[in-house]
Amino acid sequence: MRERVRDARVARLATADAAGRPHLVPFCFVLEGDELLSAVDAKPKSSRRLRRLENVRANPAVSVLVDHYEEDWSRLWWVRVEGRAEVLEPGIRAERALDLLAGKYEQYRASRPGGPVLSIHAERWSGWAP
């Protein structure tokens, strides 16, 4: 499961606000140990105050889904990571996350993300494959 998550280029991040209303977005990330790291990047967004970040501040419980689909259903798989997230303050941990993201994504080497960094501490891993 960890290899599949580590090698994935994109996943889906599920957060919920203080009232429990869900919010789901695709996101780029890097896995280091039991921590998934992501950053707000320069891709077009309606606002720099992202709902996912506001939700994490109000309710740190999150779920991440990494999956693979193709028409040959014998090759399908998914991995879900549940954990607790936090928005990192600028500093050493956030800079390390940005370095790791730049190592994984060429786009981040060309244009380093400038936004907040999200850290997800994995607490439970589950998955399925035929």
Q: What is the domain count for the chain?
A: 1
Q: Which residue blocks in the chain are alpha helix, DSSP H?
A: 2-7, 51-58, 92-104, 106-110
Range name among 19-33, 39-53, 96-110 with the lowest pLDDT average: 39-53
Nearest to 42 by CA among 118, 116, 114, 119: 114
| Predicted confidence (pLDDT) per residue in 59-105, tens digit | 999 999 999 999 999 999 999 999 999 999 999 999 999 999 999 99
Tell me how far apart the terminal alpha carbons of the chain are, to the nearest angstrom.
13
Which value, in Å, is the radius of gyration of the alpha carbons in the chain?
A: 15
Which structural domain, as residue segments, surrounds residue 121?
Answer: 2-128
If pLDDT is split at 50, 70 and 90, which confidence band does 115 have? confident
* CATH number of the domain that residue 59 is part of: 2.30.110.10
The tokens of 102 are what? Answer: 């730049």
Rounded CA separation 125/79 (Å): 7
